[in-house]
């Protein structure tokens, strides 16, 4: 059945349309929603999209980085100021998917996808939302915990502090196929050190819980420790207790619990 497509000039108009029509879904890059359309998903009858330039805008000159939710992985890769995020954007799909897939859409990617969202969690990102009632902002982990609740607000932008030391931001995705594959485990970590000891660690896991999560147990175990084999051992041990890893065609829950600590140790020690 043909769908109704509503194209708005502003994000606010798009948010109002979505608020007013429960059968409407928002289209950004299309890598999630157009799959549903092609499958004949009848749970929605209207597609809302926007041509608002703010939706695809990158503000990365200062300390606080703001990404419009419609910014694509290819745009991230084309931005020199966002070089620390290039390994993350490159982990999403192949080149054609990266032309299309957006940072906002990645927040809604079902397990085992959502690698960019994991990185944003480790950066303690905040999510800007718009609904018919106006704009508001929530922490990303809070947003992800309720992302499937309806009606869904419109994600308009994401913002986070630039890591003061780019080397403090680490990202690794373990896949079964290379160079493109879905995650067995994804880990993003922001581990700044002060006097050789971790201070203010933030660690996020992808493919370990049905959605990307903050790994508070790992973070606590890292605090005040040096990034040495001995120093990270408690965090590596804590990794197996994080989340509730699903079993799927890529890996079993048991395997994900066994391997997450190995990936974490290599990431923290800078091993291949």
Partner 1 sequence: MTRAVRLELNGVEVAAVAEGGENLLTLLRERLGDTSPKAGCLQGTCGACTVLVDGEPVLACLMLAEAADGKRVTTVRGLADGPRLHPLQEAFMDGFAAQCGFCTPGMLVAAKALLDREPRPTREQVIEAIAGNVCRCTGYTPIVEAVLEAARRMAGRRG
Q: Which residues bind partner 1 (CB under 8 A)?
A: 2-5, 7, 27, 29-31, 34-35, 37-39, 47, 49, 74, 93-97, 99-100, 179-180
Minimum distance from residue 40 beta carbon to partner 1 (Å): 10
Minimum distance from residue 148 beta carbon to partner 1 (Å): 21
Cis-peptide, bond into residue 179, ω within 30° of zero: yes
Minimum distance from residue 17 beta carbon to partner 1 (Å): 14
Minimum distance from residue 207 beta carbon to partner 1 (Å): 18
Of 158, 64, 77, 73, nearest to 120 by C-alpha is 158
Closer residue to partner 1 in complex, CB, 80/149: 80
Minimum distance from residue 109 beta carbon to partner 1 (Å): 12
Closer residue to partner 1 in complex, CB, 123/182: 182
Closer residue to partner 1 in complex, CB, 97/262: 97
Closer residue to partner 1 in complex, CB, 2/195: 2
Closer residue to partner 1 in complex, CB, 32/107: 32
């Amino acid at each position: 059945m043909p769908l109704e497509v509503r194209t708005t000039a502003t994000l606010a108009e798009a948010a109002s349309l979505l608020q007013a029509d429960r059968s409407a879904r928002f289209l950004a890059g299309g890598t999630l929603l157009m799959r549903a359309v092609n499958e004949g998903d009848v749970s929605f009858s209207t597609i809302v999209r926007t041509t608002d330039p703010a939706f695809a805008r990158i503000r990365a000159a200062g300390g606080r980085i703001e990404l419009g939710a419609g910014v694509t992985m290819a745009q991230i890769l084309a931005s020199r100021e966002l070089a620390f995020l290039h390994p993350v954007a490159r982990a999403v799909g192949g080149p054609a998917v990266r032309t299309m897939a957006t940072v906002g859409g990645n927040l809604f990617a079902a397990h085992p996808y959502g690698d960019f969202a994991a990185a944003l969690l480790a950066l303690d990102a905040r999510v800007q939302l718009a609904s018919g009632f106006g704009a508001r902002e929530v922490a990303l982990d809070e947003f992800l915990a309720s992302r499937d609740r309806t009606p869904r607000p419109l994600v308009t932008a994401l913002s986070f502090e630039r890591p003061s030391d780019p080397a403090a931001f680490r990202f690794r995705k373990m896949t079964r196929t290379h160079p493109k594959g879905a995650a067995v485990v994804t880990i993003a970590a922001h581990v700044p050190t002060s006097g050789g000891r971790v201070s203010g660690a933030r660690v996020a896991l992808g493919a370990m819980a049905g959605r990307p999560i903050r790994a508070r147990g790992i973070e606590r175990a890292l605090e005040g420790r040096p990034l040495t084999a001995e120093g990270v051992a408690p965090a590596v041990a804590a990794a197996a207790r994080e989340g509730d890893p699903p079993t799927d065609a890529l890996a079993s829950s048991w395997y994900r619990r066994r391997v997450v600590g190995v990936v974490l140790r290599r990431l923290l020690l800078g091993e291949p």
